[in-house]
Amino acid sequence: MIPALLRLPSFRRQRREDVQAALEVLRFAGLEDLAAADAQSLPLGTRRLLEVARALAGAPGVVLLDEPAAGLDEAGIEGLQTLISRARDAGATIVLVEHNVPFVMSVADSVWVMNLGKPLVNGTPEEIRNNAAVLDVYLGRGAQPLDTVAKVAKGVAAEQLLAPAEVAPSTVGAGPLLVADRVSVGYGDLTVVREVSVELNAGRTTALFGRNGAGKTTLLGGLSGLLPAGTGTIHLDGRDITSLKPWTRAAKGIALVQEGKRIFRGLTVHENLVLALPRGLTRAAAAERIDQVCDRFPVLAVRRNHRAGSLSGGQQQMLALGSALAAGPRVLLIDEPSSGLAPVVVQELLTAVSRFKQEGVAVLLVEQLVEEVLNGHAEQVVVLDGGKLVHSADATSTSVDEIAASYVG
């Protein structure tokens, strides 16, 4: 402090050395020409290089990097790759937490894959790429067979829960209900979803797959209006809704069931459903709508007067779906409904999702359980990777292996 205040020679020497060291780090990162630039004005990729360079300043033995590639385009990732490899070659130990698998494979010497808070496997990138356990985790394999489901749904015939939903006949063959055309979505100046086009049809389910961090939740945010679309257009029934706020889109029939069973735990099942009803229904129409929901989701009928917080995880997710149905949606966007649930209730839940088709709803379903969803719960499949659409096809012409291939890149 004192040498700094008095600007003593020892302070000035120290300062010169610090500036010199900073310039050296910038040179190391290929950023020396930008030493005088305002960091805030730099493009995202360059700013990320600067962040990593700053972590490297002072020559640490170990550098911890948390998702450095998030939101970067190919050029940005390439720059990062070069910098990380260079730091490794210069002797730094780098621990990299990252969603972008091709990026990890290109820079890592050793890879740990974690699942549910525990290390799953460790190996070279090549070993990981060919590891069956890793693929199973990515594809959400491991759900129980169908016959175990019946045991959990007390009071309701298993056949009733598990009967495949029919596709609403009146809507088959109609044009797409929701059309997203080259939509880009992100957070502030970070673009995550890039120029993605999808079409959702009434009475059909479109499965949206992609590994962690691919941009699935972000895309749902863009379609529901929670996140503004940076570029591109969204049409509902031929009308441009791109600039509409989320609540206006909801009023027009776009329902979003977010991850994590968002219900009112202190209220009863019935009260939750009442709250989800659209405004302006007569008393009779409201009662009829709730009866319809209970018909579609028999578990809710059984628990109608129970507090929502006392329901099992699976039943709470059913209530989240039932509440969405009570709102009378035309488009249902649903994010990982099976997340955190015992495998034994997953089939029941996917069947419940399929019931929306009977109402003529266009469903976009994000799920990690690729095999289960492809097994009769979706008509269309789209896959995101790195925020881009990498696959779009009929469910019948899409194999689990194809999805798997896009996951491990």
Q: How far is the CB of 338 from ligand ATP (least distance, A)?
A: 12
70 binds, options ligand ATP, Mg ion, none, Cβ within 5 to 8 A by partner type: ligand ATP
178 beta partners? 200, 236
d(CA 348, CA 150): 9
Q: Which listed residue (203, 210, 225, 337) binds ligand ATP by CB under 6 A? A: 210
Show the site string, 137-176: x = touches ligand ATP by CB under 6 A, - = not: ----------------------------------------
CB 223 within 8 A of CB 200: no
**How many CB atoms are located within 10 Å of the residue 256 CB?**
22
Q: How far is the CB of 89 from ligand ATP (least distance, A)?
A: 27
187 binds, options Mg ion, ligand ATP, none, Cβ within 5 to 8 A by partner type: ligand ATP
Backbone phi and psi for residue 296, each to the nearest 5 degrees, phi listed first: -70, -35
193 beta partners? 185
Q: Does 190 participate in binding ligand ATP (rule CB under 6 A)?
A: yes
Q: Quick one: 70 or 400, whose CB is closer to ligand ATP?
A: 70
Q: Which listed residue (187, 231, 245, 287) binds ligand ATP by CB under 6 A? A: 187
Amino acid at 105: M
Q: Does 112 participate in binding ligand ATP (rule CB under 6 A)?
A: no
**Residue located via tokens 């086009």:** 197
386 binds, options ligand ATP, Mg ion, none, Cβ within 5 to 8 A by partner type: none
Q: Which listed residue (201, 217, 316, 351) binds ligand ATP by CB under 6 A? A: 217
Strand 229-236 and strand 239-240: the pairing is antiparallel
Q: How far is the CB of 325 from ligand ATP (least distance, A)?
A: 23
d(CA 203, CA 255): 15
Tell me how far CA of residue 331 lies from CA of 171, 244, 290, 296, in angstroms: 13, 15, 19, 17
192 binds, options ligand ATP, Mg ion, none, Cβ within 5 to 8 A by partner type: ligand ATP
Q: Quick one: 273 or 366, whose CB is closer to ligand ATP?
A: 366
210 binds, options Mg ion, ligand ATP, none, Cβ within 5 to 8 A by partner type: ligand ATP
Q: Which listed residue (215, 232, 314, 329) binds ligand ATP by CB under 6 A? A: 215
Which tokens belong to 9?
A: 């020679």
Q: Site size for ligand ATP, by CB under 6 A?
A: 14
Q: Does 218 participate in binding Mg ion (rule CB under 5 A)?
A: no
Q: Which of residues 278-317 bind ligand ATP (CB under 6 A)?
A: none
Read out DSSP for 355-384?
Answer: HHHHTT-EEEEE-S-HHHHHTTT-SEEEEE
d(CA 91, CA 181): 47
Q: Does 316 participate in binding Mg ion (rule CB under 5 A)?
A: no
Q: Does 217 participate in binding Mg ion (rule CB under 5 A)?
A: yes
Per-residue burial over 106-125, b if 16 or more Cβ lie within 10 Å, else e, is ebbeebebeeeeeeebeeeb
d(CA 246, CA 388): 23
131 binds, options ligand ATP, Mg ion, none, Cβ within 5 to 8 A by partner type: none
Q: How far is the CB of 142 from Mg ion (least distance, A)?
A: 19
Show the site string, 61-100: x = touches ligand ATP by CB under 6 A, - = not: ------x--x----------------------------x-
d(CA 291, CA 297): 10
Q: Does 212 participate in binding ligand ATP (rule CB under 6 A)?
A: yes
**How many CB atoms are located within 10 Å of the residue 73 CB?**
14
List the alpha helices (DSSP H) in 200-239.
216-224
Chain contacts with Mg ion (rule: CB under 5 A): 216-217
Chain contacts with ligand ATP (rule: CB under 6 A): 67, 70, 99, 187, 190, 192, 210, 212-218
